[in-house]
Structure 1
Amino acid sequence: MLLESQGGTPADKEDTTGALPGTRAKSSVMVNVTMVFFVQDFVLLGLKEMEQLRYFYSVVALLIYFCSMILSTLIVYVVWAEQSLHEPMYIFICGLVGNVMVGNSASLPKIAIDLFSGCTTISLSRCLTQAYSIQSCGVIEILTFTIMAYDRYLAVGFPLRYHSLMTSKKALQSLATIWLVILISTLVVVLLVVRLRLCDTSIQNVVCETMSLTRLSCGSTVINDIYGTIYTLLIFISSFVIVTYCYIQTFLICLKISMEASQKAIHTLVTHIITYSTHMAAILFVTFRTEALRMKMIHTLKEITHQETLGKSK
């Protein structure tokens, strides 16, 4: 990862009073020279904004992390130990819980430690690793919710054929496929970021993610933008279409079955909808926030350039 800046060399700025007219004319021209540095650390501005209450936020982050890890471990253990819970629905729940454990481990401990110690920087390797872990977990969670919606549709719509349509083996294979595909596709996103030359080291967040790193580039990000847009739209649109279809079909089926079975199915459906919607809203908020910060940065740079142009014209 490179940091690129522009300026003149000391030789360009030397006084050339005693030089020949031709030499003086040439040396008086400022030549823009590109200086390249290796980026070693990034500054997380989100942590700086929390400095006044950093000890409080540090304790909160640790409490959330330890509570989530204890509850998640307990859920996984109960499903693993209880033979009657070795069914697709509980396997998907374990997949969600395991994904949450990985995502929280990639972010919360470092946030807590950095806040407690007052550190607001992160190394390049840790930044890329954190971005890879967090973004992979976010997409994996979306697709796990999607396969869970399909599983509930099969359970309600085809109760007699359900155990042949969705077995525990198929559930494990589905989760393994989701993890493998997302880990590879997210790795491509990270590798596209690695090749960029950066003009800044300030990240407008408490954690690293590839969108913020891409916005620091002083070169072309066309390939990153195209791949990122296609990747994001493909995930979001396919997930939304599948989940919406499964929800609607499940709801219509619930209207035709007995009251007791209908209430049970609708309760499961509503719980799933709330959880899925909350997660999607959180991801969309982060996405639009990053885009808003990028537009603000571009506007600020345009204003600075315009003021410099006016200053030179005067």
Structure 2
Amino acid sequence: MENAFNVSNNLILLGLVEMEGLEYLYCVLSIALYLFILLLSIVIVFVIFTDTKLHEPMYILISNLVLNGIFGSSSFFPKLIVDLITSSKTITHGNCMAQVLCITLFAMYEMSTFTMMAYDRYLAVCHPLHYGTWITNERVINLIIGSLVVSFIALLIAMFLTWKLPLCGNRLNNIFCDNMSLIILSCVDSSISQLYSASVFIVYLCVTIFVTVFSYLQIFSVCLKISGESRQKAVHTLVTHLLNFSIFLIGLLFIFIRYRLGSIKLPVIIHVLLSVTTLAVLPLLNPLIYGVRTHAVNIRITHYLQKMYAWPKWTNIPLHSAPISVISDNQSQ
């Protein structure tokens, strides 16, 4: 049935068609951005994994967030770079589904990680005396594995429903594949697939936003009650996490706007810009923000760079910086 409807096993990515004439410019920019993401992310992960003083729940979650950014950008940039070099504008149906799975898993897992980080900071700021017993490295790792398994299973069901849909077209208004674009191309009633995908997304989004907003409101209420250095550290924590979470929500908003305007004839470049925000911007900003604004990580990165390159003394940061104290309360950033 699927073969009877599909015009071709290959799908055309119209976003790549729009790049004709400037392929090499876009290729150079994509390579530079991807390498920058990899470099920053690997540095953060290396520092956290090799420094035992950073083997704490908050830093495990930061490294998890950064690794997810590597996974998300790697599901998008390598294919784009190869397509720009070879002037290819197509993708097979099977590879398209694999890319949909990877990109959607990245987005859902990003929401889970932000939620876990918000709850971790809520316990650290609002319940500092019990933080060490309520949140341990083992529990954080179990939460990470559990959220990954739940997300993967939920997405596999969605992918199965989409895979079975016969397609009456082969043109996607993007430079990569996404589940909704494939559903739109369906020749038959796709209400079951749409209902399941929408239900999973809405439930997942509502739960994560509720926990995240609750945690941030509790942290904010504590900030109003305390004063001095503790208040400054709590506010610093709140601003850092809110900044990244807001950027992620803006990316989701762009995707929502894109599909709400599906009946309007927008230029393909607008579809591309609305789609790539989460995939291109967030993996870049995560290591930048947490590498710069997280004080302990910043110090250890500088320490490693000084040892490697013997930075001059005018940097005002000693080569053998003082040991980093265990940060298990609101001294998180």
So what's the TM-score if we normalise by structure 2?
A: 0.77
Distance 1:116 1:186 in 2: 31
| Counterpart for residue 2 of structure 1 | 2
| Counterpart for residue 184 of structure 2 | 215
When structure 1 is superposed on structure 2, of 102-111 and 255-264 the one drifting more is 255-264
Please list the CA deviations of residues 106-148 of structure 1 after superposition, one character each: whole Å capped at 9, or x if unmatched.
1001111111221110111111111100010011001100110
**Amino acid corresponding to residue 77 of structure 1 in structure 2:** F
Given candidates 190, 205, 208, the residue that maps to 2:174 is 205
Task: Tell me the SS of whatever aligns to 2:22.
Answer: helix
Structure 1 residue 38: Cα displacement: 7.2
When structure 1 is superposed on structure 2, of 52-61 and 214-223 the one drifting more is 52-61
Please list the CA deviations of residues 269-296 of structure 1 after superposition, one character each: whole Å capped at 9, or x if unmatched.
1111111011111022123303422x34
Q: How does 1:276-287 map to 2 (within 5 A)?
A: 276-287=245-256
2:90 maps to 1:121: yes
Task: Tell me the SS of whatever aligns to 2:128.
Answer: coil
2:49 maps to 1:80: yes
Task: Tell me the SS of whatever aligns to 1:43.
Answer: strand
- Cα pair 1:103 1:134 within 8 Å, conserved: yes
| Counterpart for residue 247 of structure 1 | 216
**Residues 37, 53 of structure 1: CA spacing in aligned structure 2 closer, same or farther, 3 A cutoff?**
closer
Structure 1 residue 74: Cα displacement: 1.4
When structure 1 is superposed on structure 2, of 235-244 and 146-155 the one drifting more is 235-244
Distance 1:292 1:187 in 2: 27
Given candidates 248, 253, 257, the residue that maps to 1:288 is 257
Structure 1 residue 50: Cα displacement: 1.6
- Cα pair 2:6 2:168 within 8 Å, conserved: no
Structure 1 residue 186: Cα displacement: 0.9
**Amino acid corresponding to residue 128 of structure 1 in structure 2:** M
Structure 1 residue 187: Cα displacement: 1.1
**Amino acid corresponding to residue 103 of structure 1 in structure 2:** G
Structure 1 residue 37: Cα displacement: 4.8
Please list the CA deviations of residues 161-204 of structure 1 after superposition, one character each: whole Å capped at 9, or x if unmatched.
10101111111111111111101111111111111011000011
2:41 maps to 1:41: no
Task: Tell me the SS of whatever aligns to 1:198.
Answer: coil
Distance 2:103 2:139 in 1: 26
Given candidates 97, 100, 108, the residue that maps to 2:66 is 97
Size of the alignment, in residue pairs? 265
| Runs of 5+ consecutive residues of structure 2 not aligned to the other structure | 266-333
| Runs of 5+ consecutive residues of structure 1 not aligned to the other structure | 4-34, 298-314
- Cα pair 1:2 1:39 within 8 Å, conserved: no
> Alignment RMSD, CA only?
1.4
| Counterpart for residue 62 of structure 1 | 31
Structure 1 residue 97: Cα displacement: 0.8
Identity of aligned residues (%): 36
Q: How does 1:131-142 map to 2 (within 5 A)?
A: 131-142=100-111
Distance 2:6 2:105 in 1: 29
Task: Tell me the SS of whatever aligns to 2:186.
Answer: coil
- Cα pair 1:95 1:144 within 8 Å, conserved: yes
Please list the CA deviations of residues 20-64 of structure 1 after superposition, one character each: whole Å capped at 9, or x if unmatched.
xxxxxxxxxxxxxxx545741100011111223221111111111
| Counterpart for residue 171 of structure 1 | 140
| Counterpart for residue 78 of structure 2 | 109
2:197 maps to 1:233: no
- Cα pair 1:197 1:217 within 8 Å, conserved: yes
Larger Rg: 1
Task: Tell me the SS of whatever aligns to 1:122.
Answer: strand
- Cα pair 1:142 1:280 within 8 Å, conserved: no
2:236 maps to 1:267: yes
Distance 2:186 2:220 in 1: 47
- Cα pair 2:27 2:84 within 8 Å, conserved: yes
Distance 2:223 2:256 in 1: 35
2:227 maps to 1:258: yes
- Cα pair 2:7 2:168 within 8 Å, conserved: no
Task: Tell me the SS of whatever aligns to 1:160.
Answer: helix
- Cα pair 2:30 2:77 within 8 Å, conserved: yes
**Amino acid corresponding to residue 94 of structure 1 in structure 2:** S
